[in-house]
Amino acid sequence: MPIKSILKLEIERVSILDEHGNYDEKLGAGLIPDADIVKLYEAMSSCRYLDEVAFKLQRSGRMGTYPQNMGQEATSLAAAYVLNQDDWLVTCYRENCGLFWRGVPMEAILLHWMGDERGNAMPRPHFATPIAVPIGTQMLHATGLAWASKYRGEKQIACTFFGDGATSEGDFHEAANFAANLDIPVVFCCQNNFWAISVPGKIQCSAPTVAQRGIAYGMPCLQVDGNDIFACVYAVKEAAERARKESRPTFIEMVTYRLGDHTTADDARRYRDQAEVDVWKLRDPLLRTRKFMESKKLWNSSKEDAMRQRIEVEVNAAVARSEQIVTPEISDVFNYTFAELPSDLAQQRDSMQTHSLASEATVRSEGH
């Protein structure tokens, strides 16, 4: 029998506003209204300033390890902007911008990194899951949430975020396999920032794109400029429509870069060339968005100064609320673990004694 091709693949890359200010009028037409791009820029700026403050909080001993978001603000923000309020936003730990747009208060993020788990008690109206520090686990959660929605006949979809390194985890492959084979409406957003802590992307994936990893599971895949808020909105909008209309997953590789260290416990200078960082600073999502707004007469230095003053007040207020929060009650470990507290644990909570354990210990002692 002759040899014939049975599969030909193509990965599209989407870029609408590049770092040089070039804007694709056709792709960008009607995508983000002028009033909204201003709000999105303000949201990214607010998140960037929180990073600056959080870094100082950590260095002064007022907060534990903190992962800065700077450089990656556009990815999660674009998703939060596109998705419905009741769609699930399933994040890892560098999606503050999207969470804030969704309505999660800044102090929740600060509390988490201060070691107070009340920061992870995301109110239900936000439809955001707690911050996921373990690499890759949240992809399974997103698939499960979207699957449950489909099973119940609801209209919610799920959108999850993870890094390039997470695609080497078994959790990614299991989530992608389930989502594609069972037609689950979930959007997989891979934030390829080229570094899995200190491991370079070329070791994580030898293929030309990370995006094509989703092809093996039979889902649509594409790559976008992750520092281009317009391209990210375009891609997530397309994926969300596919999820709603066809109940099909999509894999989006968002090419971006973390401008800071992996966390405040890391020193990226030990493994990353400064020249590489300098190149990516010119591709900053905030920088290019501001240039775009200025070119359209939507922004100027006076508006920038006024925004900065407003953001400082908002962030400082969030810091004050997080540091002045009342001390948690010991009983909280019982109250927030079970939907309906078993009677023996209710007894332990109310008496602050382990009655059942003490009784068993006494019986064993007498029997011995």
Could you tell me which of 237, 239, 204 has the C-alpha nearest to residue 219?
Answer: 239
How far apart CA 329 and CA 116 sit, in angstroms, is 12
Which one of the listed residues 112, 213, 242, 262 is annotated catalytic? 262
| Complete DSSP assignment for 173-184 | HHHHHHHHHTT-
How far apart CA 183 and CA 186 sit, in angstroms, is 9
- For 52, 298, 318, the CA distances from 82, given in Å and listed in that order, are 27, 22, 26
The answer to whether 126 is a known catalytic residue is no
Which one of the listed residues 13, 20, 59, 271 is annotated catalytic? 271
- For 109, 123, 276, the CA distances from 120, given in Å and listed in that order, are 8, 9, 34
Contact 136, 172 (CB under 8 A): yes
Which one of the listed residues 213, 258, 283, 288 is annotated catalytic? 258
- 46's CB contacts (< 8 A; 6+ apart) are 100, 311, 314, 315
The answer to whether 258 is a known catalytic residue is yes
Contact 258, 72 (CB under 8 A): yes
The answer to whether 336 is a known catalytic residue is no
For residue 35, which amino acid is it? A
| Complete DSSP assignment for 26-58 | HHHTTTS-HHHHHHHHHHHHHHHHHHHHHHHHH
| Complete DSSP assignment for 155-219 | ---EEEEEEGGGGGSHHHHHHHHHHHHTT--EEEEEEE-SEETTEEHHHH--SS-SGGGGGGGT-
How far apart CA 327 and CA 341 sit, in angstroms, is 22
Catalytic residue set: 258, 262, 271
